[in-house]
Chain A
């Protein structure tokens, strides 16, 4: 019985781990070859080669709220929405740098800095989406913030357990029908407004403060862009204002953004107190605009962008 227990344990554990590792690699490879959802945006930041005048980088409040076709029609520029759900500063730096490296010659990078971008707790939201790029040194550095990312490199069978059903399904789709070349037509607007069908809930009052390491990363990113001759614009998205609203102006948060903007001479398009913030009918939840709200927001951003940069834009 002792022998049997040992053999059973060894055989089943080794076989299951090997099968799980193979499955992980299949899904991983597939995920790197899809052009859907925000995984598609990550892939595009890494693999796409098209050049745009303006690239939008930020969280869901870029991903769901900036409509490139509206922006382009107002500014007569070409723009790309590279928003990724839950993006925080450490990822923003990596995605921005990857975007710049892949899409050579971008004129502007619009960084959306909201109430949560610079806050404490640098854990990486929905981190399994970075598993396909774990061999990339800059992505691997994210494991400093989210240790599990390293599993994809060293223990793929364990990393497999972090993929949820939609990701596995997406990975299998990518494996069966891989996208070989990421083209503009497929992806442009893929991240256009997709309002969640949520009800408006009262915001939970969150005690938060900016994180000094995030401020340093933002500083570093601005400096990097300047060295690359890329202009930066900061946008602050709207939030539904009620008595529980988190107000970044009551903390040192907005002062920090202003300091950085002044240091690098970066324009800020601040929509956090615009009239739209007082119209619940424009929101699908406290933080996210609905389709209608998103169109208005994109128009505001485009108009403000042209007001501030219209005279100085030099299309390369």
Chain B
């Protein structure tokens, strides 16, 4: 069930209405059933995988609390192995198999090939697995009491607004909210609906329109020239932001209508003036997950300098691999690892130079270009295509003369894109990421609702395109 579908609109209205109509003690059950329906709308049978991780981590949480060392560690390890094992089988098995088979073929063993698994990646697997893992780690660290109510714990993993693409929540922030009684507050409804509308605008008006151009260019890069390829990369850079932050806004907004507060996932990342700042503002729930559970476990910044850089690099490479089982994602992670360690190294050794360079528009431009070029690897089908696009982009040709139009994307579409992106930038520049300052201003708020709703009706691309991050 996609957030940008009519089906979800009906689902959302029914669930939110019922949520406030029934007594508090039954609400967890309603949300759990609703979350099951939401998840099963994709591939029903995969709910069994989700159920398996829920049971394992639920029991692990209880055992960890009750046991003493070294058993505590053993239970945590068992939980992590189970979660990572599920990821390994469903997400990475075929990737490793393909690479092993390539090596075997190169070595002349053409008959002995490792068999592939004929499976579809369960939707949002990496997200709910990471959320489940954060629970057992926090219980192990003593920051969170284990949840003994199985239904509430299941809801923590399955809560439908953030089930398939985050934000990846922490138990300290979310679990207790299921036990609190949320009275109907019109402030929450207004806040949530505003954010949902904003997310829908970013998704259907900007992201899905830019996807027409970006998909055409990335699907057949050999058909395009320097200028078109550069525009394709720019389109994807904006598309992925609007797609993912749009999803996050709708997730946070739909949870908020029922009184739940989810963590902020994006904080105007493209306004960042250096790569470190970018990562503090992009996909915050994942960045902080890696910081809390991997970077700190590796020693964080309480080790000698070169180890700090090493830890940062490891985090980014693994973060790239987290996104998908393809060398392109690993390359994307490596690029960010390189730039962020280079930036840190330079900042540690030449702080004044770095301050001058990464200040003002120059810093912003440099950061934007690095991030945009890295997206080429993220979006391209394979490393070869990514290299081709990058090479072609720096080879000047006569593409202005032979400008190839992308089907269904003419001057009208470009005009809409420019106006709509300007509208988005303006709002994001003057407003906090959750648009909360509109809450206090009546007339601007009404104008926001009216204009945004009209833009969605007038300029929305309603092809019910899936969200990019659903595949992870």
Contacts and interface: CB of A to CB of B under 8 A. Distances in A.
A244 interface: no
A172 B460 contact: no
Contacts of A169: 410-413
A253 B446 CA distance: 58
Contact of B457 (A1, A4, A16): A16
Contact of A11 (B412, B450, B458): B450
A204 to B, nearest CB: 18
Contacts of B462: 161-162
- Of the four ranges (under 10, 10 to 19, 20 to 34, 35 or more), the interface on chain A belongs to 20 to 34
Given A161-B460, A165-B409, A165-B416, A2 B186 contact: yes
A15 B408 contact: no
A1 B458 contact: no
**Smallest CB-CB A-B distances: 7 pairs:** A169-B412, A12-B449, A16-B453, A1-B186, A20-B457, A12-B450, A16-B454
21 contacts: A4-B186, A4-B442, A5-B186, A5-B189, A8-B190, A8-B449, A11-B449, A11-B450, A12-B446, A20-B454, A20-B458, A161-B457, A161-B460, A165-B209, A165-B409, A165-B410, A165-B416, A166-B408, A166-B412, A168-B412, A169-B411
B445 interface: yes
Contacts of A23: 458
Given A8-B446, A11-B446, A20-B458, A1 B190 contact: yes
B187 interface: yes
Contact of B408 (A160, A161, A165): A165
Given A1-B186, A11-B446, A15-B450, 4 more contacts: A5-B186, A17-B457, A164-B408, A172-B412
Query: Among the interface residues A11, A12, A13, A162, which one has the most CB atoms of the partner chain B within 10 A?
Result: A12
B461 interface: yes
B443 to A, nearest CB: 10
> Interface majority SS on A: helix, strand, loop or mixed?
helix
A88 B297 CA distance: 63
Contacts of A172: 412
Contacts of A16: 450, 453-454, 457
Interface of B: 185-187, 189-190, 193, 209, 408-413, 416, 442, 445-446, 449-450, 453-454, 457-458, 460-462
A164 B407 CA distance: 11
A154 to B, nearest CB: 16
A20 B187 CA distance: 28
B414 to A, nearest CB: 9
Contacts of B416: 165
Contacts of B185: 1
Contact of A160 (B209, B442, B450, B458): B458
A164 B408 CA distance: 8
Query: Among the interface residues B186, B410, B458, which one has the most CB atoms of the partner chain A within 10 A?
Result: B458
Interface string A163-177: 011101100100000
Contacts of A165: 209, 408-410, 412-413, 416, 461
A166 B413 CA distance: 8
A157 interface: yes
B445 A8 contact: yes
A293 B189 CA distance: 61
B460 to A, nearest CB: 6
A9 B187 CA distance: 13
A2 B412 CA distance: 40
A166 B450 contact: no
A13 B189 CA distance: 16
B213 to A, nearest CB: 11
A16 B459 CA distance: 12
A200 interface: no
A8 B454 CA distance: 14
A19 interface: yes
A12 B410 contact: no
B234 to A, nearest CB: 18
A160 B458 CA distance: 7
Contacts of A12: 446, 449-450, 453
Interface in A1-60: 1-2, 4-5, 7-9, 11-13, 15-17, 19-20, 23
Nearest to B457: A20
A157 B462 CA distance: 13
Contacts of B457: 16-17, 19-20, 157, 160-161
A1 B413 contact: no
